[in-house]
Chain A
């Protein structure tokens, strides 16, 4: 009974303090902290020989004037700062949810993974690669493997593109709108003739082991072009209709 009475004194004092704190969401934490102080103080008084009743009375008196404490706490717990803090927490939760939905929807997480993997796996082109500044980044070209198959020569040429700004859309232009000239004249992309048969030689195609790009990062792309001819080519030049640049790759051909 007596204990309840002293608790009532404490609750009255605490409620009087909280009336001055305008940022209500902090009331719980403030009450908890004040009670901890009060209980510590009670124990200190009991430790020096006060009985519980007196210890509680003294401890409560030591907590100070409820109005002053309340005003002080209100200054420390500014409502605008408190609401801003709450808003940032809601914002974080909402953004985390949007990110999770974005990643799960349409298996976007897989796309992100592929882009990141290619971005990191991409290797700097060899020093001997020819390069050009495109205004959006650098494009490189270097001769690759040469092999013979079915009486034809296959010459692989590797192209790297490094953009200045990240994007996940495919740079369609440099792989599709470009044209190639060789030491034996312009070489066309593989095509079907009027009877529907594929051209047998002297054409280029994009490397068959690639879906579109061998590597498609956020800023780094790589692909390969294969030239199929009866006699090996000495060099190939790549030109692009929308840029004032030409890239050249050469192979050492035995006479």
Chain B
């Protein structure tokens, strides 16, 4: 049977659709929208529907990359749980960044990435927030105070480092001038002779105070932040 041109076009479109499906399957069905990413996390953890409360997208070009990578950082709410996760998109491939993991906590979530500490929770009546993060090195302790910046209804952000995540010259910076990101490296590392350092995981206590519009303290949340989260710089 000889096909007409219209039939050939239809056939070609069908083949294209099959090829697209094949590419999508070969790549592991990557999600391309924030909603899709939320659905994938919900399926992976058998959760009800996630509601994204904060999305931060940024492009980054590594040497040798033909196309820029897109990082999508999402903080979402799922009933009374708060979650954070990061996706790394390289052209058509979009995978969850497993080094960042999916952080999930009931009630409130304290997490960090690229110099910003995030505190998510039910903050409807909250107007402002402050936190104190305590780092310790033996008997030496340091409290870091940060005022919150409202990023979304349920989210405050606290800038703890203005650096770029490359803490090569920690030994040249006086300890009293180090920011939280630098301290989280400097005090929580083990030297291995000439082979550099390994970095230790520790949970640093975080005390958050929430204020209403009149400046009255509403609530104090005691939580913690991992040093690995504070190192997270991609």
Find the B residue at minimum CB distance from A171: B44
A95–B12 alpha-carbon span in the complex (Å):
11
- Taking the nearest CB of chain B, how far is it from the CB of A178, in angstroms? 10
Cβ-defined partner of A167 (8 Å) among B16, B28, B92:
B28
Which of B45-53, B111-119, B175-183 contacts the other chain?
B45-53
Give every chain A residue within 8 A of B29 (Cβ-Cβ).
166-169, 218
- Say whether B19 faces chain A, with CB atoms less than 8 Å apart: yes
Which of A14-22, A55-63, A86-94, A228-236 contacts the other chain?
A86-94
Question: Across the interface, do B25 and A218 meet the contact criterion of CB distance under 8 Å?
Answer: yes
Cβ-defined partner of B40 (8 Å) among A82, A92, A167, A242:
A167
Cβ-defined partner of A82 (8 Å) among B5, B26, B42:
B5
A77–B95 alpha-carbon span in the complex (Å):
45
- Say whether A112 faces chain B, with CB atoms less than 8 Å apart: yes
Question: Across the interface, do A112 and B19 meet the contact criterion of CB distance under 8 Å?
Answer: no
A173–B15 alpha-carbon span in the complex (Å):
36
Chain A-chain B contacts (Cβ-Cβ < 8 Å), number: 96
A99–B18 alpha-carbon span in the complex (Å):
11
Question: Across the interface, do B5 and A91 meet the contact criterion of CB distance under 8 Å?
Answer: no
Which chain B residues in 49-82 approach chain A with CB under 8 Å?
A: 78, 81
Give every chain B residue within 8 A of A214 (Cβ-Cβ).
none
Given contacts A103-B26, A112-B25, A171-B43, contact A81 B6 (CB under 8 A): yes
Which chain B residues in 1-20 approach chain A with CB under 8 Å?
A: 5-6, 8-9, 12-13, 15-16, 19-20
Which chain B residues in 128-185 approach chain A with CB under 8 Å?
A: none
Give every chain A residue within 8 A of B78 (Cβ-Cβ).
242
A139–B26 alpha-carbon span in the complex (Å):
25
A91–B15 alpha-carbon span in the complex (Å):
10
- Taking the nearest CB of chain A, how far is it from the CB of B31, in angstroms? 9
- Say whether A199 faces chain B, with CB atoms less than 8 Å apart: no
Question: Across the interface, do B43 and A167 meet the contact criterion of CB distance under 8 Å?
Answer: yes
- Say whether A134 faces chain B, with CB atoms less than 8 Å apart: yes
- Taking the nearest CB of chain A, how far is it from the CB of B25, in angstroms? 7
- Say whether B102 faces chain A, with CB atoms less than 8 Å apart: yes
A169–B39 alpha-carbon span in the complex (Å):
12
Which chain A residues in 123-158 approach chain B with CB under 8 Å?
A: 134-136, 139
Give every chain B residue within 8 A of A242 (Cβ-Cβ).
45-48, 78, 81
- Say whether B27 faces chain A, with CB atoms less than 8 Å apart: yes
A165–B43 alpha-carbon span in the complex (Å):
9
- Say whether B23 faces chain A, with CB atoms less than 8 Å apart: yes
- Say whether A174 faces chain B, with CB atoms less than 8 Å apart: yes
Cβ-defined partner of A112 (8 Å) among B26, B39, B92, B95:
B26
Given contacts A98-B23, A172-B44, contact A91 B12 (CB under 8 A): yes
Give every chain B residue within 8 A of A112 (Cβ-Cβ).
25-26
Give every chain B residue within 8 A of A96 (Cβ-Cβ).
19
Give every chain A residue within 8 A of B22 (Cβ-Cβ).
99
Given contacts A85-B5, A88-B9, A91-B12, contact A169 B44 (CB under 8 A): yes
Interface residues of A (CB under 8 A from B): 81-82, 84-85, 88-89, 91-92, 95-96, 98-99, 102-103, 108-109, 111-112, 134-136, 139, 163, 165-174, 177, 218, 240, 242-243
Interface residues of B (CB under 8 A from A): 5-6, 8-9, 12-13, 15-16, 19-20, 22-23, 25-29, 39-40, 42-48, 78, 81, 92, 95-96, 102
4 closest A-B pairs by beta carbon, nearest first, are A168-B28, A173-B45, A88-B12, A95-B19
With A108-B26, A135-B47, A171-B44 given, can you name 18 additional A-B contacts, CB distance below 8 Å?
A82-B5, A85-B5, A88-B8, A88-B13, A88-B16, A92-B16, A95-B16, A96-B19, A102-B92, A109-B26, A112-B25, A135-B48, A165-B39, A165-B43, A166-B25, A168-B28, A169-B95, A173-B47
Q: List 12 A-B contacts (CB under 8 A).
A: A82-B5, A91-B16, A95-B20, A102-B26, A135-B48, A136-B42, A136-B43, A166-B25, A168-B27, A174-B46, A240-B46, A242-B81
